[in-house]
Structure 1
Amino acid sequence: MEERTLPRNPTRAVKIGTVTIGDGNRIAVQSMTATHTKNIDATIEQINALVNAGADVVRVAVDSTKDAEALAEISRQVTANLAVDLQENYRLAEVIAPHVAKLRYNPGHLYHHEREKPWQEKVEYLANVAVENDCAMRVGVNCGSVDPAMKEKYDPQDSISPMLESAIAHCELLDSLNFTRYCVSLKDSDPQKVIEVNTRFAEQRPDIPLHLGVTEAGMPPDGIIKTRIAFEQLISKGIGDTIRVSLTLPNPRKPEEIDAGRQILEDIAAGRVRTVVDFGTETLNIISCPSCSRVENEAFIDLAQQVKEMTTYAQEYDITIAVMGCRVNGPGETDDADLGLWCGPNHVNLKKGPEAIGAYPYDEILPRLREELDIIIEQKSSAPVS
């Protein structure tokens, strides 16, 4: 396989169903379903399409007991190595684990349920469930949903240190529980931050397999370029055992994510790498999350494209606009953007940095967004040059 020509960190092996990552095994490629999990037939169709495109692992989101019941039936009808996204209710793990190969949890999300209980106790519960059901686990750390105790320790401008410390702390706890069948992901929408945080983690814990991705990379081709920048820098240094290219796509089956990931790996192995490593610097940056089963209104995907088209006049300005598709990623992961949109069933919530401006119907949000964008452009244009 093409990945054998690449340098690889000496990470330990982690078995995920029929696939083993780490320990020199080929780099696995993942994607995530965009259907509502309760729609069993559509989800099965999408999983099979992703597997046929070459997906080694397919992730499914589960937010409720109805989703969990649907997943049980889905797992009986597919051969894919399924990973489950636990989201905010970690207690669903015991219901879901018998039907999947891997459990993924976010350290930041552990605080949304049973807040009085220490996170260490919750992680121990998850590790026990994983052992009892022969599951691997992923500690998924995201820039917009970090352990609040870690975040408070650092300057608000430093988003990397809280992520890194949180990941290291969770790894140390899992190791102390004699649970080592896990990998880690540290994701940001900025490819430079993805490079830095994963490099720092790999220096401290070179034994732990890393899942790489640029979260909210956005629409092709920009989303692929951002992801390629991060992957080229990391994989060329031996960092990375499994990857996902997260794209905002109208195609509900999303094989493009798999195709893009495999093409990037082939190019890196063949030495076909780009020299540009500062994509998005001093220019308008549109970030948008991948279309997944948590999206509450499919109009989100069209809106992301409309935002990109409407804002072309602002390309020369260093402004970030985030378009998020659900209540899970929306509130926190728009905080660092100049302007943020997170989409609900009937309204789009508009933010300026961490401050909420208001909620607007889908057919009214673009003019309102443009008003706020013009204000920012005017402020930047009139600001004195330092």
Structure 2
Amino acid sequence: MSANIKPRTTRKIKVGTLTLGGDSPIAVQSMTATRTQDLQATARQIEILEKAGADIIRIAVDSKEDVEALKILRKGSKAIFSVDLQENYRLAPIVAPYVNKIRYNPGHLWHLDKDKTIKEKVEFIVNAAREHELAIRIGVNCGSVDPDYKARYPEDSIEAMVRSAVDHCAMMDELGFENYCVSLKDSDSSKVIEGNKRFSELRPDVPLHLGVTEAGMPPEGIIKTRIAFEQLIPAGIGDTIRVSLTVPDDDKGQEIDVGRSILDDIENGRFRSVPENFLEGLNIIACPSCSRVENGKFVDLAQDVRRMTEYAEKYKITIAVMGCRVNGPGETDDADLGLWCGPAHVNLKKKTETVGAFGYDEILGKLKEELDKLIEDRYGAKEPSIS
């Protein structure tokens, strides 16, 4: 253990042949960004991540067709697979034989099978994991917290996230299942830091998966992630990490490279200074893409948004660019302007208000109109027309 890192107090869990927690090395993982049923593209992503040295590769499933694709992908790889159940917890038993870990989001359990309790749904997942000797990750995101917890903590989104995670841990404990870890994520580095610190005080025994979700494009996305990791890992918080960057599919290995570079810097006491005025102006949030993305133009759109908005960099405004309808609507609510992408249209929002749905060829113009209105209303400034 490096002298720069406080010893971790978490228990050890098993994910396939990998051990997480305690004094085990901090694992680095990532997620495929392609549609799971696109076997050629997803197999290519798995290959890229394996070559980059990923300890765990996460793949999303949301249908029985996705599970069938996963069966084929499993035959072609010996990598440690984690599966993201998305919004369909019922898939747990049929996907379990082909993976080493199941990730579910507590915020996605409430709307299915409302005649069942949340604990009954958790037990359903646990039974599948137990039968196949899998690990479970309780993955809580600030942007998709269970509505009950939002209602309980309307003024403190961090506490809503932490309490949801703590209560789901209690369910695991009551069910006699110990092979689990937790993640508490947000696109705001400060919320990630505070949330994980609060949780680790309440449950110092539970291994933690760290990440800044929707960190965005390099270099800003790397800086946001580094800010969180440099605060948490030296404090002994964090057993596995994910760097979430909005990059082209063939560059996905960059997430692993960046993660290992940050860990190496922390181990050796190299802490990078944050650029002056970082995030005091325009802040662009973008998700790292995954199998839920229904139009490959999403990553290009995120890059185009950054280029188009360069003229507004001095204004403290947040723009979110999200790739799917699962997390997009909720996780753009806090942004001044939010885009979430469908197959043929991009939905434009102002905070929680929907402006409209526009084609990929017209969304940039509509976004600029709303951005210029916002700048004028908030700052009394009128920007010149940008072609």
* Structure 2 residue 29 is the aligned partner of structure 1 residue 30: yes
Deviation at 1:253, TM superposition (A): 5.3
AA partner of residue 285 (structure 1): N
Deviation at 1:39, TM superposition (A): 1.9
What residue number does 1:183 align with?
181
Contact 2:33 2:249 in 1 (8 A): no
Deviation at 1:212, TM superposition (A): 0.2
What residue number does 2:51 align with?
52
Superposed CA deviations along residues 173-199 of structure 1, whole A, max 9, x for unmatched, are 101111010000000000011000001
Residues 278, 159 of structure 1: alpha-carbon distance in 2 compared, 3 angstrom cutoff: farther
Superposed CA deviations along residues 82-141 of structure 1, whole A, max 9, x for unmatched, are 000001110001110010000000000012321232111100111111000111000000
Q: What SS does the aligned partner of 2:53 have?
A: coil
Deviation at 1:329, TM superposition (A): 1.2
Consecutive unaligned residues of structure 1, counting only runs of 5 or more, are none
What residue number does 1:42 align with?
41
* Aligned mates of 1:46, 1:227 — CA distance in 2: 22
* Aligned mates of 1:36, 1:347 — CA distance in 2: 18
Q: What SS does the aligned partner of 1:112 have?
A: coil
Q: What SS does the aligned partner of 1:252 have?
A: helix
* Aligned mates of 2:117, 2:275 — CA distance in 1: 40
* Structure 2 residue 251 is the aligned partner of structure 1 residue 271: no
Contact 2:208 2:238 in 1 (8 A): yes
* Aligned mates of 1:233, 1:279 — CA distance in 2: 19
* Aligned mates of 1:221, 1:374 — CA distance in 2: 25
What residue number does 2:132 align with?
133
* Aligned mates of 1:219, 1:31 — CA distance in 2: 15
Contact 2:305 2:364 in 1 (8 A): yes
* Structure 2 residue 159 is the aligned partner of structure 1 residue 161: yes
What residue number does 2:233 align with?
235
Contact 1:282 1:318 in 2 (8 A): yes
Q: Match for 2:301 among 300, 303, 314?
A: 303
Contact 2:180 2:207 in 1 (8 A): yes
Q: Match for 1:320 among 312, 318, 321?
A: 318
Q: What SS does the aligned partner of 1:328 have?
A: coil
* Aligned mates of 2:153, 2:131 — CA distance in 1: 37
* Aligned mates of 1:5, 1:145 — CA distance in 2: 34
Contact 2:45 2:249 in 1 (8 A): no
* Aligned mates of 2:129, 2:3 — CA distance in 1: 30
Superposed CA deviations along residues 144-198 of structure 1, whole A, max 9, x for unmatched, are 100110100122x421011011000000110111101000000000001100000
What residue number does 1:67 align with?
66
The alignment's TM-score, normalised by the length of structure 1, stands at 0.96
Contact 1:46 1:253 in 2 (8 A): no
Q: What SS does the aligned partner of 1:152 have?
A: helix
Deviation at 1:5, TM superposition (A): 6.0
Contact 1:33 1:253 in 2 (8 A): no
* Aligned mates of 2:342, 2:119 — CA distance in 1: 32
Q: Match for 1:196 among 194, 197, 206?
A: 194
Deviation at 1:242, TM superposition (A): 0.1
Deviation at 1:287, TM superposition (A): 0.3
User: Once the two structures are aligned, what percentage of the paired residues are identical?
Assistant: 62
Deviation at 1:143, TM superposition (A): 0.8
* Aligned mates of 2:229, 2:15 — CA distance in 1: 22
Contact 2:4 2:269 in 1 (8 A): no
Contact 1:33 1:60 in 2 (8 A): yes
Contact 2:192 2:212 in 1 (8 A): yes
Residues 148, 277 of structure 1: alpha-carbon distance in 2 compared, 3 angstrom cutoff: farther
What residue number does 2:77 align with?
78
